[in-house]
Amino acid sequence: MRSYLVLVFQVQDIKVDPDSRRAWRGDGEVVLSRKEFDLVLALISRAGDIVSRDELMRDVWHTTFWTSSKTIDVHLGWVRRKLGDDSRRPHLITTIRGKGLRFEKGDGGRRSDGH
C-alpha cells in the first residue's frame, strides 16, 4: 500500500487544497478562477509573511514584467469578495503599503501536515 502526504493549507477559516485546486471558507466551498486560486495559494502558503508584488507577478502570472499595475489589485478584489473579506478593513489578506500583501494568520495558521 502506497502512502503519500496530502498538503492542505488552513489559515483562519480558509482551507486550500493545492492538489484538487479547491478552496473553502468554513464548510462552504468557494469557487475561484485559476488565477484567483493561484493568488490565494501564493499568499496562504506563506501566511504571516509579506509577499511582494514582484513575487506575485512571477509566481502567479509567470512574468517578470508588469502587464498592468492593476492586475494584482483587480484579482485581489475578486478574491476578497469571494472569501468575504472586507476590502476596507480586511482581516484575511492585508495590503502592506510599499511592500506587498500578507495573508493574516489570525488565530494561528497551520498546515495539515503538522507544520
pTM for the complete prediction? 0.86
* Tens of pLDDT, residues 54-67: 999 999 998 877 66
Q: Is the pLDDT of residue 107 over 80?
A: no
pLDDT digits (tens, 9 = 90+) for 27-84: 999 999 999 999 999 999 999 999 999 999 999 998 877 666 688 999 999 999 999 9
**Which CATH architecture best describes the domain 9-106?**
Orthogonal Bundle (1.10)
Give the span between the Cα atoms of 103 and 43, in whole angstroms.
Answer: 6
Closest residue by Cα to residue 79 from 17, 7, 30: 30
Residue ranges per structural domain of the chain? 9-106
Identify any residues that bridge with 1 across adjacent strands, giving them in sequence order.
none
- The distance of Cα 83 from the centroid of its chain, to the nearest Å, equals 10
Instruction: Show the cell assigned to 32.
Output: 475561484
